[in-house]
Amino acid sequence: MSSPEKLSVDVLIIGAGPTGLFAAYYAGFRGLSMAVVDSLPEAGGQVTAMYPEKMIYDVAGFPAVRGRDLVKGLVEQAAQWDPTYLLGRKAVGLEEAEGGGLEVSLDGGDVVRAGAVLVTAGIGEFTPRPLPAGDGWLGRGMVHFVPALDVHAGKHVVVVGGGDSAFDWVLALHPIAASVTLVHRRSRFRAAESIVREVRGLGVRIITDAEVTRLRGETEDGPLAEVELEIKNEGREVLPAQTVVAALGFTADLGPIENWGLEIERRSIAVDTTMATAREWVYAAGDVAAYPGKVKLIATGFGEAATAINNIGVALNPGAKLFPGHSSG
Ligand SMILES: Cc1cc2nc3c(=O)[nH]c(=O)nc-3n(C[C@H](O)[C@H](O)[C@H](O)COP(=O)(O)OP(=O)(O)OC[C@H]3O[C@@H](n4cnc5c(N)ncnc54)[C@H](O)[C@@H]3O)c2cc1C
């Protein structure tokens, strides 16, 4: 979107995870215009950020679907209504608009005007835990996510971390990278034993009790070339590396949304059976929405997105029917 400062839509969806993406499809299906904002640079929420390569077995209609394929399908399904994506942008403020509706301000100062807002912010904005030695290297060889594997084909890769994500990235990159080395600062791993066994079985080098002390470029400002480690009882080692995946986990925080006058219960937003929050014209769905008996799953997020958008449809157009009709044609 070239000028989001002028954007005005029926529904602004905050969060491009599975729930927000399906809500975008559903809003179009109901004849509503929509925009989707997400602080991450890619759509897909937790699936893209944490487990794009994992198989998911409990999405209705898919006996098994890879995370990235599910997100691709959701983006394609929504694309028929041409949603406006505001990626890499964080929703920070929510105000009543003059003359009705709401105004959501984004970081950077733009304001989106919307008839209703659907908050699908999941567990909130993810902030990757930093790799201290990687300061200044983000985007110059160091990454926290691996949204596209092929970018790392033929490269020497060092994955730092000891949790499931670190081992997932090793498994995903091993077939295409020139080499993959896993570096962890402890001797024990948080990751499941089965995945640790699988990685060991591939013969991937695992260096434990090791701290990354420095990243170095080909030249002073050049791309990443090597990683220096300090290994307990062994001393210094330098590994060739064009990519460092810093998989040290994330912190998640609802941040500014907590100050929007919604009813927040344990980092979730209380909703009624229509997915309406305590604030008029603001709805919530997916992991972020709370009600008695809530189960946080992709499948429930899809259902809640449909409930929220159908109710928004009626709230915006009181003559409209709540039941949208069937999509099959
Ligand atoms: C390792 C792992 C495995 C899982 N496996 C399964 C499984 O097998 N089956 C299953 O059903 N579920 C699984 N889940 C849970 C599933 O991923 C979540 O239930 C699902 O992602 C929730 O979707 P969502 O769209 O509600 O929220 P999210 O996926 O969390 O997306 C929310 C989005 O909102 C954005 N956001 C937050 N605040 C703001 C803001 N202020 N401004 C802009 N953007 C904002 C975030 O950046 C994020 O992209 C798993 C989760 C993990 C971590």
**Taking Cα atoms as reference points, which of 75, 126, 156 lies closest to residue 247?**
126
* pTM of the full structure: 0.87
Rounded CA-CA distance 258/255 in Å is: 6
Q: Which atom of ligand 1 is least distant from the CA of 46?
A: 29
Which residues in the chain come in under a pLDDT of 50?
1-2
Same domain, 95 and 155: no
Calculate the alpha carbon distances from 136 to 90, 152, 217, 243, 249 in Å. Answer: 22, 20, 12, 14, 19
What is the b/e burial string over 130-149, where b = at least 16 CB atoms within 10 angstroms of the residue's CB? ebebbeebeeebbbbbbbeb
Range of the domain at 148: 130-246
Counting every residue, how long is the chain? 329
The answer to whether residue 327 sits within a structural domain is no
| Residue owning the nearest CA to atom 48 of ligand 1 | 45
Same domain, 49 and 112: yes
**Taking Cα atoms as reference points, which of 50, 87, 56 lies closest to residue 70?**
56
**126, 40 Cβ separation under 8 angstroms:** yes
Q: Which stretches of 148-271 are DSSP H helices? A: 164-173, 193-201
Rounded CA-CA distance 39/45 in Å is: 10
The answer to whether residue 328 sits within a structural domain is no
Quick one: CA dihedral 298, 303, 308, 310, positive or negative? positive
Residue from 70, 294, 295, 298 whose mutation best tests the ligand 1 pocket (most atoms within 8 A of CB): 298
14 in contact with ligand 1, CB cutoff 6 A: yes
- Three-state secondary-structure class, residue 19: helix
Would you state the pLDDT for residue 53? Answer: 82
Confirm whether residue 25 is marked as ligand binding. no
| pLDDT tens-place string over residues 92-128 | 999 999 988 999 999 989 999 999 999 999 999 888 8
The answer to whether residue 161 sits within a structural domain is yes
The answer to whether residue 325 sits within a structural domain is no
Would you state the pLDDT for residue 6? Answer: 73
| pLDDT tens-place string over residues 133-165 | 999 999 899 998 887 789 999 999 999 999 998
Same domain, 22 and 95: yes
How deeply is 92 buried, as exposed, middle or buried, from its count of CB atoms within 10 A (0-12, 13-18, 19+)? middle
In this structure, what CATH number is given to the domain that contains residue 73?
Answer: 3.50.50.60
Same domain, 112 and 164: no
Q: Side by side, which strands form the sheet with 268-270?
A: 264-265, 268-270, 289-290
Instruction: Provide the residue type at 263 as one letter.
Output: E
Would you state the pLDDT for residue 4? Answer: 56
Same domain, 285 and 239: no
Same domain, 105 and 173: no
Would you state the pLDDT for residue 2? Answer: 43
Same domain, 120 and 254: yes
Of 218, 246, 274, the residue at which a domain comes to its end is 246
The answer to whether residue 324 sits within a structural domain is no
Of 217, 246, 275, the residue at which a domain comes to its end is 246
Q: Are strands 210-217 and 102-106 parallel, antiparallel or unpaired?
A: unpaired
DSSP code, position 219: S
The answer to whether residue 323 sits within a structural domain is no
Same domain, 241 and 258: no
Would you state the pLDDT for residue 201? Answer: 96
**Taking Cα atoms as reference points, which of 25, 9, 14, 11 lies closest to residue 86?**
14
Q: Which two tokens stand for residue 88?
A: 């890499």
Would you state the pLDDT for residue 127? Answer: 86
Rounded CA-CA distance 316/314 in Å is: 5
Would you state the pLDDT for residue 148? Answer: 79
DSSP code, position 223: -
287 in contact with ligand 1, CB cutoff 6 A: yes
Of 212, 246, 280, the residue at which a domain comes to its end is 246
Same domain, 121 and 68: yes
The answer to whether residue 322 sits within a structural domain is no
Same domain, 27 and 169: no
Would you state the pLDDT for residue 328? Answer: 79
Confirm whether residue 33 is marked as ligand binding. no
Same domain, 99 and 78: yes
**22, 305 Cβ separation under 8 angstroms:** yes
Chain centroid offset of residue 203 CA: 31
Quick one: CA dihedral 139, 131, 151, 155, positive or negative? positive
**Total domain count, the chain:** 2
The answer to whether residue 193 sits within a structural domain is yes
Same domain, 239 and 138: yes
Would you state the pLDDT for residue 1? Answer: 46
Q: Which atom of ligand 1 is least distant from the CA of 45?
A: 49
